[in-house]
Amino acid sequence: MRGGLIIATVLVLTTGVFAEQRFAVPTEFDSGYTKPTTQHPDPRASMMQYVDLGVLIATLGLASFLTLKFRRRWAIFTLMIFCLVYFGFVRGGCVCPIGAIQNVAMAIFLGDYTLPLVVLAIFVIPLVFTLLLGRAFCGAVCPLGAVQDVFLLRPLRVPGWLDQALGLLAYIYLAAAVLLAATGSALIICRYDPFVSLFRLLPLGKWIEALTRGGTVPGGIASITISIHLLVLLGVLVVICMFVGRAYCRFLCPYGAILRICSRLSLKRVTITPEECIKCRLCEDACHFGAIRQPTQTHGGHDRTRGKGLLAGMVLLAGALTFAAGWGASLLTPYLARTNAQVRLAEQIWREQNALAARSDDINDPGEVFRRTDTPIARLYDDAEDIKRRFLIGSWIAGGFIGLVIGGRLVRLSVRRRREDYEADRGSCLACGRCFAKCPMEQARRKGRSVSLTTGEDE
Amino acid sequence: MNNTQITPKGSPRRDWRLACVAVACVTGAVSLTLIAAMAVNYLRLRDADPLASPKLAGMKEALYEHPADEQLKDDIRRLDLRLRKAHLRLRTRLATGGLLLGSILIVLVVSIRAAEILGRKPPHPNHPHNDPKRDDRIAGASRWSLIALTAAIGCGAAAWAMLSEPSGDTLLPAHVNGQKPEPDYPTPEEVRKNWPRFRGPGGAGVSAYANIPVSWNVETGENILWKTPVPLGGMNSPVAWGNRVFLAGAKKRRREVYCFDAETGRLLWTRRVQPAGSKDDPENVDRDTGLSAPTCSTDGKRLYAIFPNGDLASFDFSGKEIWSRNLGVPDNIYGYATSLLTWRGRLIVQSDQGTPDDALSVLLILDAATGKTLRTIRRAVAGSWTTPAVFSIGGAERLVTVGDPWVITYDPADGRETWRARLMGPDVAPSPIYSAGLVFTVTAEAKLSAIRPGGTGDVTDSHVAWSATEDLPGICSPVSDGTLLYTLTSEGGVLTCYEAATGKRIWSKEYENLGFHSSPSLAGGRLYLFSRDGTAIVLESARRYKELARMKMGEGIHTSPAFLDGRMFVRGVKNLFCISGGKK
């Protein structure tokens, strides 16, 4: 019940933001003016959501086939463009496993929230595909990734150490998004998704819908709403993505952070060449995402002893970091809790009651809205306290998770692996197919020829 | 492999690449132009919200007063339609621009990609590294970068928590019954000891200090603690708090706020005021009013300043701008001159404009900390130049405003009107005062009125204790020591003394050849007058006229003085004077 109240409050307060942009009902006079009948466009047919789901499954299956079996970059690229058009411009970026993270978090932590099965499927299916067949979703299906690929003009190589550090941001974003969704505070992934602005610039879905009904776009062209702030954010991101391959996917995407973990456990994955690697480094040159790992060097006995000591130290540090980050995040609870509208409202009312802030009679002011509902203030305070308690627990978990990720990375960096050939990193590889498209062994395999392991020339 | 260009001169591949580059350049330039045009359009759209049109709101307000006015209804319909059309036109333009931009961006991206592909060189990877320490080095650098980022995030989070004030824990409901934090506004005692607004505490023009010199000499420096030039002129009076004195000044395209050291007269800082939407050189500003007539106000932590073009800004005492906004240019025939008022964390802006039928006049109650409008109270009065005041009357605080034709009081806590009296005439400039249990209002075109506060609704016929109609001031506000009331006419220079409680005229004194803009002030039982030509007159506040001193300031005085302990601050046409008996 309480969870429902929180969601309702968030929705009511959020809709107020949009309500400001709408026109008031025209003042009526005794002039014979008759108000036009309100048009109610039909809701989108419920069947269409299963069509979306079908398209998602089909494209994921096709993408997996293209990366693992057919192994043609042009085919992957073509599929990527189709997904960009369909999931991006036609569906407005709304068939979105990234945003579905929040719905799942709400379903788990907010008792009254019912998760639609379609949304659950949209969240789970790419994860299952990744666990089985690698990150085909990122490589060819995700419209956000496709936008970045389209704008990638002059890729620069991000140093390995910086790549490791920036990759942490995605986990922090994931932890923050889950914490805020689980407390019913905000859906930040959707709110700050810059790519949606781009998709709204060309709302193909609306046009198709209007054409199939034989009419014009409802509300005319002026009904298209574009957030200027998100457009600016999009512009900045596009400029970054011109030089840094898939910057959002690698350093920010919260779903990518989950997929990275799943991909490490996947049964099958992209291989650069099924044949023997000739170490020509063309795959490393072709990959713009820093996902190709070089063959390792051999180490002496002394180094191995030192390495073990370092590893032990990092394991201990990881444990300490997990606790410290959880504790540190818990200290931020009072400030994080202010992201919740209910907590902000309680604080506002309390400040007004204690003459620390002036009251407003603006009907859009949350305090005034609350007063008009005649809800007991004690109930508001109780709800706010409850949310703050949830934030306290959530902050410990979110902080601990971030600490664990940092610690895990430190441990992983201290583990020495043996690699004989150039390989795509299981976690970082986005299954775009650039590496095998450039691999001479792969080219030769397709043509049924062999390549010299010493010169790289056809034999 | 080699590193030679695969697009030799004259080859079709090279020609295609050049064509792609040309297309990219053209579409890039068009995109930039389009983005700039859309940005301008967006800013215009933001200002063209039909729901926020003050003109439409004013007309609707007027319709409440005249519900049968068919012409007004037609005007509202027409204006409403025009505003909506304009708004939709701008939105359509923005959306069309978005579509156009999207299409051009596609061409731009495709042409750049094509140019890049056509000009691509064959890959030439370096030989593999054989450094056995390479992996360890990269792993070590990665570990350090992770630790550095972790530390940076930790520091960022700590800084965020420290900058978020107050701590969220103090606001937990569990603390409601605990210790109450200090309010964000000064105590009455602090206000009494300082000079936070036009004519000081309560707008009464009465100093809490008696140790102000009776005489001084600007030429010899006797009792002149300091004298500092003011960069830009203005008709606003000084306000003072602690060891700071504040003024505002303006010229056609520049509006500034000044902070002086009250001890030395040193100009500590100057800040320009130019919020978004600010317009230079507002029309209809009379030369006598000037471009900076409203006096600043302070609550001891922040300074607030307003200008006739509607620019409003807040600064802390170090000169850092807290917020600023433009309220729109008031429709005022001589130029806006009403001073600001702070009360319990709120900033009160009285903006009386046009005629009563225009319904443009408003009283704005803003959150002093943020500048956000908390209440907008519409007033059916014409343009005025008076400054409101909050008086504690019978245990309740009342905000008293004076306009044409109404004296209206409000509860400052919620903006609710308490009572009103129709006592004023056109061109109201003198501000109200409260003394001897009466509210005094005056204007040259009507009368001097003493109103018994109280009642509800229109109290014109029931609550006027006494009134007078001779020698009425048009600009200077009255002053009272609780027993005697003084008025001073601007033209002719007639100072009149009344018995405050009864309205009995006790004496009057005409200062030949002197005119006054500065309102009379009281300190230590003495009246301080400053004429337009710079003559300062000090006299006893008594039932008999007794002049104590007469001095020349050396420059014209149009403003009212401010007082602190042992010091009087007077703004001349060019300089700010500090008159003090303690130092020379």
Residue A46: per-residue pLDDT: 76
Residue count of chain B, please give it.
Answer: 584
Residue A446: per-residue pLDDT: 83
Residues whose CB falls within 8 Å of the CB of residue B22, separated by 6 or more in sequence, listed in order? none
Of the residues A22, A153, A157, A161, the best mutation for testing chain B's interface (the one with the most B CB atoms within 10 Å of its CB) is A161
Cα–Cα distance for residue pair A205/A89, rounded to 1 Å: 7
B84 closest CB neighbour out of A23, A353, A360: A23
pLDDT digits (tens, 9 = 90+) for A23-42: 444 554 555 666 777 766 66
A335 at B interface, C-beta within 8 A? yes
Cα–Cα distance for residue pair B529/B535, rounded to 1 Å: 8
Q: Among all chains, which residue has been given the structure tokens 């500048």?
A: B371
Q: Among all chains, which residue has been given the structure tokens 């976690």?
A: A427
Would you place residue B380 in the very low, low, confident or very high pLDDT band (cuts 50, 70, 90)? Answer: confident
Of the residues A315, A317, A359, A368, the best mutation for testing chain B's interface (the one with the most B CB atoms within 10 Å of its CB) is A359
Share of chain B above pLDDT 90, in %: 55
Cβ atoms of A400 and A323 within 8 Å: the answer is yes
Cα–Cα distance for residue pair A360/A352, rounded to 1 Å: 9
The sheet with strand B479-480 has its strands ordered as: B479-480, B484-488, B494-499, B505-510
Question: In DSSP terms, which residues pair with B568 in a beta bridge?
Answer: B563, B579
A295 at B interface, C-beta within 8 A? yes
A24 at B interface, C-beta within 8 A? yes
Chain A residues in contact with B133 by the CB 8 A cut-off are 297
| N-terminal to C-terminal alpha carbon distance within chain A | 73
Task: Tell me which chain B residue has its CA closest to the CA of residue A281.
Answer: B125
A264 at B interface, C-beta within 8 A? no
pLDDT digits (tens, 9 = 90+) for A120-175: 999 999 999 999 999 999 999 999 999 999 888 888 989 988 998 999 999 999 99
pLDDT digits (tens, 9 = 90+) for A304-324: 788 888 889 999 999 999 999
pLDDT digits (tens, 9 = 90+) for A37-48: 776 666 666 788
Cα–Cα nearest to B129, from B138, B140, B120:
B138
Task: Tell me which chain A residue has its CA closest to the CA of residue B347.
Answer: A358
Cα–Cα distance for residue pair A389/A338, rounded to 1 Å: 13
Please give the residue that has the higher pLDDT: either B297 or A281. Answer: B297
The sheet with strand B224-229 has its strands ordered as: B224-229, B575-580, B567-571, B562-564
Which structure tokens are listed for B503?
A: 């309205």
Q: How do strand B362-367 and strand B438-441 relate by DSSP bridges?
A: unpaired
Of the residues B44, B118, B129, B171, the best mutation for testing chain A's interface (the one with the most A CB atoms within 10 Å of its CB) is B171
Which structure tokens are listed for A175?
A: 């932890």
Chain A residues in contact with B99 by the CB 8 A cut-off are 201-202, 221
| A357 contacts B367? CB cut-off 8 A | yes
Cα–Cα distance for residue pair B276/A66, rounded to 1 Å: 55
Task: Tell me which chain A residue has its CA closest to the CA of residue B134.
Answer: A297
Cα–Cα nearest to B19, from B121, B122, B114, B117:
B114
Question: In DSSP terms, which residues pair with B217 in a beta bridge?
Answer: B222
Cβ atoms of B578 and B564 within 8 Å: the answer is no
The alpha-carbon radius of gyration of chain B (Å, integer) is: 32
Please give the residue that has the higher pLDDT: either A16 or B310. Answer: B310
Determine which helix (DSSP H) or strand (DSSP E) holds B192, and give its type and residue range.
Answer: helix B188-193
A385 closest CB neighbour out of B103, B148, B173: B173
**Alpha-carbon distance A105 to nearest alpha carbon in chain B (angstroms):** 24
Residue B297: per-residue pLDDT: 96
Cα–Cα nearest to A352, from A361, A341, A364:
A361
Residue B124 has pLDDT above 50, yes or no: yes
Question: In DSSP terms, which residues pair with B351 in a beta bridge?
Answer: B362
Cα–Cα distance for residue pair A263/A129, rounded to 1 Å: 9
Cα–Cα distance for residue pair A457/B6, rounded to 1 Å: 20
Q: Which of A190-199, B3-12, B401-410, B501-510 has the lowest mean pLDDT?
A: B3-12
Q: Report yes or no on whether pTM surpasses 0.95.
A: no
Contacting A residues, span 143-182, partner chain B, CB-CB under 8 Å? 150-151, 153-154, 159-162, 164-166, 168, 172
pLDDT digits (tens, 9 = 90+) for A214-268: 655 554 454 556 677 787 888 899 889 989 999 999 999 999 999 999 999 999 9
Cβ atoms of B28 and B144 within 8 Å: the answer is no
Which structure tokens are listed for A279?
A: 């170490």
| A303 contacts B136? CB cut-off 8 A | yes
Per DSSP, A314 falls in state H
Q: What is the mean pLDDT of chain B?
A: 87
Cα–Cα nearest to A250, from A335, A341, A150, A145:
A145
Q: Give the CB-side neighbour count of residue B283, counting CA atoms within 13 A.
A: 1
A-B C-beta contacts closer than 8 Å = 178
A275 at B interface, C-beta within 8 A? no
pLDDT digits (tens, 9 = 90+) for A59-71: 999 999 999 999 9
Please give the residue that has the higher pLDDT: either B103 or A1. Answer: B103
